Amino acid sequence: MSARILDGNRIAAEIRAEVAAEIRALAGLGLRPGLAVVLVGNNPASEIYVRGKVKNSEELGIYSEKHTPPAGISTEELLEVVQDLNRRDEIDGILVQLPLPAHIETKNVLMAVDPAKDVDGFHPMNVGFLSTQRPGLVPCTPAGIVEILKRSNVPVAGREAVVVGRSDIVGKPTAMLLLNANATVTVCHSKTRDLAEVCRRADILVAAIGRAGMITRAFVKPGATVIDVGMNQITDRTEFDKFFKGNSKREQTFTTKGSTLIGDVHPEVAEVAGAITPVPGGVGPLTIAMLMANTVRAMRLRRGLRVPELSKA
């Protein structure tokens, strides 16, 4: 048996097309959503992410701005940047790219973002809205995970879901969304006893721990749906051989680039799972697509407009 591959690129393209149609309809009312991205300093990985976000915004018709204060900016100065964006009515979404430099008080900066413009869904007010099932803004990666399940016709209600990882950005909000969709949810972490046994109960297993290939076939119930949130870079030949020996396509990438990506799920899991998201090309593309959807949602909520359901599933 080989698992069905849940194609994140295809699903993200579907969502982007829906968002673009919505933006065109809003343009007819004289409205255009606006997104501001704040990138502090020169983190190469963050610069790539931000470029992708700005490019996607422009392609879909969202007005976008990039603010790039220097790495040495103080917390107080950065708070002023955020407050200025809070005051501007044409900006519907504010995204502060993480990580911030070590000397900046990250929590204070994230708390300063107007909850109505918090397109990352990190503000405690939006966390509260999610937990009490009120309209708000949901973190992009967890929202993307739910869209993958819905659009791949994976039943959630009444199913047993296990989330490995309890971060505020992915683990906890994913668990809350699955609970809101009537799954029975277990959240695991580094102190969980007999992790493999708990994971084997899952009809839906979400791996979000940041450890390359940690979830092996011993963790997976045959036929389960496995969502791999991990994004780990392999540069060591021994480690590459452990996961991808004999995989000619991966071998070519590794030889050319000197690295390849792997999720938190071991490739062997595809032999036992019923469905699985690949890395790359699984959850990753959904994160930016959901950011675009959140920006339009923020605009609608701020202006008291009806907020349509994203997918018809």
pTM, to two decimals: 0.93
The domain locations on the chain are: 27-114, 140-285
pLDDT of amino acid 292: 97
Residue tagged active-site, from 53, 117, 172, 221: 53
Pair 47, 76: CB distance under 8 Å: no
140-285 CATH: 3.40.50.720
pLDDT of amino acid 134: 93
Residue tagged active-site, from 92, 114, 120, 264: 120
Is 53 designated active site?
Answer: yes
Is 191 designated active site?
Answer: no
pLDDT of amino acid 45: 81
pLDDT of amino acid 310: 56
Pair 33, 299: CB distance under 8 Å: yes
pLDDT of amino acid 309: 63
pLDDT of amino acid 312: 39
At 182-229, the pLDDT tens digits run: 999 999 999 999 999 999 999 999 999 999 999 999 999 999 999 999
At 10-54, the pLDDT tens digits run: 999 999 999 999 999 999 999 999 999 999 998 888 888 899 899
Q: What CATH number matches the domain at 27-114, 3.40.50.10490, 3.40.50.10860, 3.40.718.10, 3.90.1150.10?
A: 3.40.50.10860
Segments of the chain scoring below 70 in pLDDT: 1, 308-313
Is 66 designated active site?
Answer: no
pLDDT of amino acid 308: 67
C-alpha span between 200 and 192 (Å, rounded): 14
pLDDT of amino acid 42: 87
pLDDT of amino acid 59: 94
Residue tagged active-site, from 92, 97, 114, 118: 97
Q: In sequence order, what DSSP letters do the residues of the chain get, joined into one string?
A: --PEE--HHHHHHHHHHHHHHHHHHHHTTT---EEEEE--S--HHHHHHHHHHHHHHHHHT-EEEEE---TT--HHHHHHHHHHHHH-TT--EEEEPSPPPTTS-HHHHHHHS-GGGBTT--SHHHHHHHHTT-S----HHHHHHHHHHHHTT---TT-EEEEE---TTTHHHHHHHHHHTT-EEEEE-TT-TTHHHHHTT-SEEEE-S--TT-B-GGG--TT-EEEE---EEE--HHHHHHHHTT-HHHHHHHHHHS-EEE-SB-GGGGGT-SEE--SSSSHHHHHHHHHHHHHHHHHHHHTT-----S---
Q: Examine domains 27-114 and 140-285 and report if their fold is the same.
A: yes
